[in-house]
Amino acid sequence: MKIKLWGVRGSIPSPGPTTVKYGGNTPCIQAINEEEPGEIIILEAGTGIRELGLSLIKLKPKPRIHILLSHTHWDHIHGLPFFIPIFAAGFDIKIYGPVHYDKKLSEILAGQMDYAYFPVRTAELSSDISYRDLKEERLSVGGLEFQTQYMNHPVMTLGYRITQGGKTFVYTGDNEPYSNFQKEGEILDDENIDEFVEEQNNRVVEFARDCSLLVADSQYTDDEYSAKKGWGHSSIGHAVALATKANVKRLVLFHHEPERTDGQLEGMLASAGQKKEELKNSSLEIFLAREKDEYEI
């Protein structure tokens, strides 16, 4: 299995001379199963999916395409209307995503292609598209084994753990550590809340346990995070601590802040190295997510 990054930026695309080295497209990751070349597996449909689609449209015979969404915030789906295979007859496309509290996945994705926003509606697409709403579960997709788990973000969000031949890749999606937001006077006491918080954070650690590659949300510096708590994104320190606790081999810092320049990102990588030293984790390899980079699992 190989992992290829097509979009690595968070929140909104940020093209320009200061982001050209690491890329300005929003999230899109391809999991390549070389044993099943007719099955294309894509995590997220941010703007990075547009260029991936241009490469897939040339393939013959047409592959079956699986798109797995961590959640449906706009930066993780707004590339889908520009994914060329959805317009082409003969493509079989299945889209997976977390169950939403009041809408089906198909309804959410159709909403951004309403005629008021986009000139082509989902009903007019030529490819064969189907949808599957996911909860925490195990499933097989394109010859790879998947496990899903809920993450801490302001909308229902799934992380994905993908395994093949004893090797594992984990993608957290948008996520921040659980913490105690309990206000005085509420029904639950602090002790019960703290136990719940610890349990949920331990679940995330076990989800990433011993994986070969972890692509983790690390949008903020540790200093920035204090003002962003509750926004649903982790800091550099959170990502390194998670990788350390879970005995991860390689960590890719992902979902870059849109205003972050290439030089500033490299400064964050240096900070991650310092955090690794503080945690006495000499074995962890840390990388900055960069468009078109590939990782062998």
- Cα distance between the two ends of the chain: 6
Residue 163 is encoded by which pair of tokens? 């395994």
pLDDT, tens only, 178-188: 987 655 445 55
Residue 59 is encoded by which pair of tokens? 């393939």
pLDDT, tens only, 47-60: 999 999 999 999 99
Q: Does the reported pTM lie above 0.85? A: yes
* Residue 273: count of CB within 10 angstroms of its CB: 14
Q: Sign of dihedral through CA atoms 107, 117, 70, 232?
A: negative
Least confident of 81-90, 100-109, 256-265: 100-109
pLDDT of 236 over the 70 cut: yes
The domain total for the chain is 1
CATH number for the domain that contains residue 12: 3.60.15.10
Query: Which band of pLDDT confidence, cut at 50, 70 and 90, is reported for residue 38?
Result: very high
What is the residue whose two structure tokens read 């078109």?
Answer: 292
Domain that holds residue 262: 2-296
* Residue 161: count of CB within 10 angstroms of its CB: 20
The mean pLDDT of 55-84, rounded to a whole number, is: 97
Cα-Cα-Cα-Cα dihedral of 286, 238, 230, 188, to 10°? 150
- Cβ proximity of 226 and 194 under 8 Å: no
